[in-house]
Amino acid sequence: ISKFGKEAVAAYGIATRVEQIALLPTVGLNTATLTIVAQNNGAKLFDRIKEALNAALRYGGVLMGLGTIGVFLLAGHLMGLFTGDERVVEIGATYLRIAAFVFYAYVILYVNVAALQGVKRPMYAIWIGLYRQIIAPVIIFYFLTQILDFGLMAVWWGIFSVTWSAALITFFYARRLLRELIHL
C-alpha cells in the first residue's frame, strides 16, 4: 500500500481499525462455535453440531448484515472520527464501502474453521491462513497492481476476492469433511 502514498497507508490503517471493531462479534461466534462443536463432538451429539453451525452462520448473517449496512452508509463519518485529512477520509471510506461486503465472508470463514477445530481438525486453519494471508495476496495483488496496473482499488478488490475465496473454500471443505465425519 505504501506504493500508493502516505495517505493510502494512513487510510488503510484507520479503516482496518474500524473494520476490526465491526468484526468483533465474529470473535464471539468463533469461540462459541468451537466450544459447542467440540463439546457435542465429544458427547457424540452430532445433530447439535449441525444446529450450532447453522445457528452461528444465521446469527453472524444478521449481525454482519447490520454491520455491512452501517459501515457502508457511515464510512466517511467513521473515517472522519480518526482524521481530518479529506484525502485520507476519501481513500479509507472507499475501502470501507468495499470491505463492508466482506464482513459475512469472515463469519463463514471463522465459524467453519472453528467447527473443524471442534472436530479435531485444527491444521486446516493453518493452511487456509497461509492461503489467505500470504499465497493468494501475493499472487492477486501482484497481478492486479503490477501486471494490470489497476492501482489502489485493485488492492481493495483483491482483499475482497481473497477473503471471499477463502470463505467459500472453507465452507465447502468443512461441509464435506463434517458430512464424512459425522454425517452432517
The amino acid present at 72, given as its one-letter code, is F
Cell numbers 444478521: residue? 62
Q: Which of 21, 34, 125 is nearest to 67 (CA)?
A: 21
d(CA 1, CA 34): 34
When pLDDT is cut at 50, 70 and 90, the band that residue 7 belongs to is very high
- Which pLDDT score, from 0 to 100, does residue 149 have? 86
Distance between CA 25 and CA 64 in Å, rounded? 8
The number of domains in the chain is 1
Q: How confident is the model at residue 133 (pLDDT cuts 50, 70, 90)?
A: very high
Angstrom distance (rounded) from CA 33 to CA 25? 12
pLDDT of 54 strictly over 80: yes
The domain of 107 spans: 2-182
Q: How far apart are CA 26 and CA 29, in angstroms?
A: 5
Q: Is the pTM of this model over 0.85?
A: yes
Q: Which residues of 153-174 are buried (b: 16+ CB within 10 A; e: fewer)?
A: ebbbebbbbbbbebbebbbebb
> In 10 A of CB 104, how many CB atoms?
20
The letter for the amino acid at 36 is I
Percent of the chain with pLDDT over 90: 92
Q: What is the mean pLDDT of the chain?
A: 95
- Distance in angstroms (rounded) separating the CA atoms of residues 133 and 100: 19
pLDDT (0 to 100) of residue 184: 60
Instruction: List the one residue out of 134, 129, 119 whose CA is nearest residue 174.
Output: 119
Q: Region 150-178: what's the mean pLDDT?
A: 96
Residue 72 has pLDDT above 70, yes or no: yes
